[in-house]
Amino acid sequence: MRNAIVLAAGKGTRMKSTLPKVMHKILGQPMIGHVITHLKEVNTDKNIMVVGHGAEMIQEYLKDQVSFALQLEQKGTGHAVMQAIDQLDPNGDTVLLYGDCPCVQSETIEWLFESNKDFDLTVLTAFFFDPAKYGRIVRDKKQRVKKIVEFKDCSKSELNIKEINTGIYCFKNEKLIKHIKELNDNNAQNEYYITDLVEIFINNELKVQAISVKDNDEVMGINDRQDLLNAQRWIQKRINNAWIDQGVTFINPLGTYISLETTFEEDVVLYPNIYLEGKNHIKRGTTILPGSFIINSTIGENVKVDSSRITDSIVGNNVNIGPYSHLRGHTEIGDGTRIGNFVEMKNAKIGKNTRCAHLTYVGDAEVGEDVNFGCGVVTVNYDGKNKFLTKIGDHAFIGSNVNMIAPVTIGTNAVLAAGSTIDHDVPDNDMGIARERQVNKPGLGLKYIQKK
Ligand code: UD1
Ligand code: CA
């Protein structure tokens, strides 16, 4: 059994924020979400998160994804682990991670589980030129790890040690459950240190090893907003480089922000100043131009998205979107369709080869194939209380500045005259006209202009 405990009860005072530290976002996703995404990649059987400060918000964000343990008072990392101990499987291994350490990759977590096979405790360490306030790894003459000493408890010579504790470990559950009770708070901070388990394990003749991380950046912890930006830059570079190797073209990767859960096919071209958040899939040959924001959406092959926002929607192949369009609320766009220039669509299903190119709102609608929308068309879907559906059949031609007051159905091959306000159904093959007849008053125009 593989278990994981993630500590996330701390306050994060240095973020200077009302938001709990681990809820601050990196590439559109709270940093705690990055930790969970990587954990899921190694197929753990159970993930337990220790929460305290901001518990409600974190629990709301991760509900159904992890189980929780509450630490009401923050009495140290050892005390935090004690809160989760009852939920561990009696056998197997537990990796201990921090919620404010979002760069740790799944390969490293996997490596920890594997390295701990024949050990009772594996500590992940790093060598820092400036070991700052990290806990120091003390080794004996044979280079075997002896104990971890916290910065505030270090002797002068211990302060010179360059090998530090990353705070990430793998424990044998059986031994962790047995010995965690032996922790005490007799130290400079009067806290229960999880690090004391190294010495306790060794005194009980258990097998402890310390192995060092390959890339120090992976273990960077977030304490303030500078750290947050540094971590974002590191993760952004990593994600973008991986997609470059998979055949994605970046015009300037520094200005392209891609979430962990976005995927691409070959020959996608990404301009700078675009944001892809949440779970997106972008298919082959598609180009995304500057100023686009795409969230939880699927974009088909050979699509062009220009300065547009697309949320929770699905776009077919060979579609043109924008400039300046907004698709949201589970909109679906058929192949070959054109959506452009200040068009908003919400909860709309649009058929193939339809054209909706200018200044139009389509909300709560089912639209067929090869439909033409003129400029300035509005589906009037809301009466102030409820939303209603507009249905438009194949090949219909909707004139400019038409309002369709829902619920209303426009038939196949129907034509709506420009400027009409349509509140009755229009049958197949018919034309709907709903506007005042024009009256011309001879000479009145000139008179008016002369008076001015
Ligand atoms: C800890 C380690 C130190 C290591 C460093 C690496 C201990 C005693 N020390 O120190 O050796 O070099 O991490 O970053 O473990 N937390 C709780 N509840 C608590 C206390 C902490 O959930 O009661 C969480 C925090 O939210 C944070 C993490 O545990 O995510 C680390 O706590 P922190 O107080 O920052 O530990 P350090 O002093 O940095
Ligand atoms: Ca810390």
pTM higher than 0.85, yes or no? yes
Model pLDDT, residue 55: 97
pLDDT digits 0-9 by tens, 72-124: 999 999 999 999 999 999 999 999 999 999 999 999 999 999 999 999 999 99
Architecture of the CATH domain 2-219: Alpha-Beta Complex (3.90)
CB distance 25 to ligand 1 below 6 Å: no
| CA-166 nearest atom, ligand 1 | 6
The torsion angles phi and psi of 55, rounded to 5 degrees, stand at -55, -45
Architecture of the CATH domain 308-432: 3 Solenoid (2.160)
Token pair recorded at residue 167 = 């705070």
Q: For the chain, where do the domains classified as CATH 2.160.10.10 start and end?
A: 308-432
Token pair recorded at residue 4 = 């994981």
CA gap 391, 410 in Å, rounded: 6
CB distance 271 to ligand 1 below 6 Å: no
Candidates 188, 60, 216, 202; CA nearest to 119 is 202
Say which of 179, 330, 358, 424 is annotated catalytic.
358
Q: For the chain, where do the domains classified as CATH 3.90.550.10 start and end?
A: 2-219
Q: Give 227-230 contacts, CB < 8 A, sequence gap 24+.
A: 228/15, 228/24, 228/26, 228/31
**Which DSSP string do the residues of 334-371 spell out, in sequence order?**
-TT-EE-SSEEEEEEEE-TT-EE-SSEEEEEEEE-SS-
CB distance 74 to ligand 1 below 6 Å: yes
The torsion angles phi and psi of 34, rounded to 5 degrees, stand at -65, -45
Model pLDDT, residue 371: 98
Q: 256 pairs with which residues across the strands?
A: 274
What is the mean predicted confidence (pLDDT) over 400-406?
A: 98
Residue 358 among the catalytic residues: yes
Q: 170 pairs with which residues across the strands?
A: 95, 122
Candidates 361, 393, 389; CA nearest to 375 is 361
Least distant ligand from the CA of 98:
1
Work out the pLDDT band at 396, boundaries 50, 70, 90: very high
Helix (H) or strand (E) holding 290: none
Model pLDDT, residue 452: 83
Report strand pairing: 145-149 vs 136-139. antiparallel
Q: What is the largest CA-CA distance in the chain?
A: 110
Atom 20 of ligand 1, residue of closest alpha carbon: 76
What residue type is 452 in one-letter code?
K
CB distance 192 to ligand 1 below 6 Å: no
Q: 404 pairs with which residues across the strands?
A: 379, 422
pLDDT digits 0-9 by tens, 268-313: 999 999 999 999 999 999 999 999 999 999 999 999 999 999 999 9
Candidates 345, 348, 380; CA nearest to 367 is 348
371 alpha carbon to ligand 1 midpoint, in Å?
61
CA gap 413, 89 in Å, rounded: 65
CB burial of 62-83 (b: ≥16 within 10 Å; e: otherwise) equals: beeebebbebeebbbbbbbbbb
- State the average pLDDT for the chain: 97
Percent of the chain with pLDDT over 70: 100
CA gap 89, 2 in Å, rounded: 8
Query: How far apart, in Å, are the Cα atoms of 390 and each of 3, 184, 452?
Result: 51, 68, 45
What is the mean predicted confidence (pLDDT) over 389-414?
A: 98
Candidates 404, 350, 345; CA nearest to 380 is 404
pLDDT digits 0-9 by tens, 406-450: 999 999 999 999 999 999 999 999 999 999 999 999 999 999 999
Model pLDDT, residue 11: 86
Work out the pLDDT band at 154, boundaries 50, 70, 90: very high
